[in-house]
Amino acid sequence: MPLVVWPAALAMWGPGDMSSKHAHHAMHLMLCRTGTLSIRVDSAKKDTRAAGVLVGPDVPHALDARGTEVVLLFVEPESHDGLRLRASLTESVRLFDEAARDALLASLPREGPIPHAAIGPWMESTLEALAGPTTTSAPRMHPRVRKLLRHLRSDPAPEDTSLEALAEVAGLSSGRLMHAFTESTGVPLRPYLLWLRLQRAAGAIASGRTAGEAAHAAGFSDSAHLTRTFRRMFGTTPSFLQRRSQFVQAQAKAPDAS
């Protein structure tokens, strides 16, 4: 399962699925590798077909991408990248036709496995291509924040992520840390910590661990807590990620079986 640990983004790919009407806080880019999907937004009475869609934060929508493979990108809307994406939206969603989809996916293979190493550059180029006008400049990393990030990304994950404990690690006051962290990463500390925990959980699930094991590894109280948070942020569940991971693993092994 292609997963890239960015401060506030998560990418994955696999078979398309159908979702009932829902909303989630993360911005959501879905691109069909081939074919099209249908989407219904807000109170619209009819579905619209497109080769891809970018959905704004907390926008009620329903999707049907069955019968095709999709590439998904979730972005924290309060992050630097999220603000740039939000600036590109003139409505609650942005639709992409086949030509626009092909341009966005040009650096990735059109079918079969997607190399993990290709996902990071694709995310970067896609966010740049879709970014709207914004006066927000690229953040400059504070050295104490860089130190804290190394601590947060260490393995195993630190158990105490209270503001007081993190301020002590960084060597800054609590108030100064919150300000410096947002300036340095483009996302406030608490949303970043949530994204990091979700990314840890997603990585654990993709590696074959159960939802309960993933929840424990990422600092959630139990699998139910992880599932609720996944659904709120991404509009899906850890079990959905497990199915995608199994699909990707089966695709990767297919050439060996022939």
CATH code of residue 121: 2.60.120.280
Task: Quote the pLDDT of residue 255.
Answer: 55
Report whether pLDDT(214) > 50: yes
Reported as a pLDDT band with limits 50, 70 and 90, residue 250 is low
Predicted local confidence at residue 1, as pLDDT: 42
Per-residue pLDDT for 5 more than 70?
no
Question: Does residue 18 lie within any of the structural domains?
Answer: yes
Give how far Cα 164 sits from Cα of 26, 175, 177, 198, Å.
27, 10, 10, 22
Whether residue 221 sits in one domain with residue 122: no
Residue 185 banded pLDDT, cuts 50, 70, 90: confident
CATH code for the domain of 233: 1.10.10.60
Q: Which of 67, 102, 130 represents a domain boundary (last residue)?
A: 130
pTM of structure: 0.72
Which strands form 27-32's sheet, in the order they lie side by side?
9-15, 69-75, 27-32, 52-55, 93-96
Counting residues of the chain whose pLDDT is more than 90, the rounded percentage is 37
Number of domains in the chain: 2
Asked whether residue 40 falls in the same domain as residue 106, the answer is: yes
In this predicted model, what pLDDT tens digit does every residue of 93-146 receive, in sequence order?
999 999 999 999 999 998 888 888 898 899 999 999 998 775 555 567 899 998
Lowest mean pLDDT segment, chosen from 55-64, 169-178, 200-209: 200-209
Beta bridge mates, 96: 52
Residues 65-86 have a mean pLDDT of 87
Instruction: Kindly report the three-state secondary structure assignment for every residue of 4-38.
Output: CCECCEEEEEEECCEEEEECCCCEEEEEECCCCEE
Q: What b-and-e string marks burial along 178-195, b requiring 16 or more CB atoms within 10 Å of the CB?
A: bebbbebbbbbbebbbbb
Domain end: 104, 130, 156, which one?
A: 130
Q: Considering Cα of 87, then 59, then 105, then 124, what sign does the dihedral take? A: positive
Compute φ and ψ for 79, nearest 5 degrees: -75, 170
CB 43 within 8 A of CB 33: no
Whether residues 57 and 155 share a domain: the answer is: no
**Domain of residue 172, residue span:** 143-257
Number of Cβ atoms within 10 Å of the Cβ of 49: 12
- The residue among 77, 108, 130 that closes a domain is 130
Q: How are beta strands 18-22 and 61-64 bridged, if at all?
A: antiparallel
Tell me, yes or no, whether 126 and 194 share the same domain.
no
In-domain check, residue 3: no
Indicate the range of 1-15, 90-104, 204-218 predicted with least confidence.
1-15
Give the separation between CA 167 and CA 153, rounded to whole angstroms.
16
**Domain membership flag for residue 1:** no
| pLDDT, averaged across the chain | 84
Instruction: Check residues 134 and 214 and name the one with the higher pLDDT.
Output: 214
Range of lowest pLDDT (134-143, 150-159, 162-171, 212-221): 134-143
Q: Which amino acid is at 152?
A: L
Short-list 245, 5, 257, 21, CA closest to 119: 5
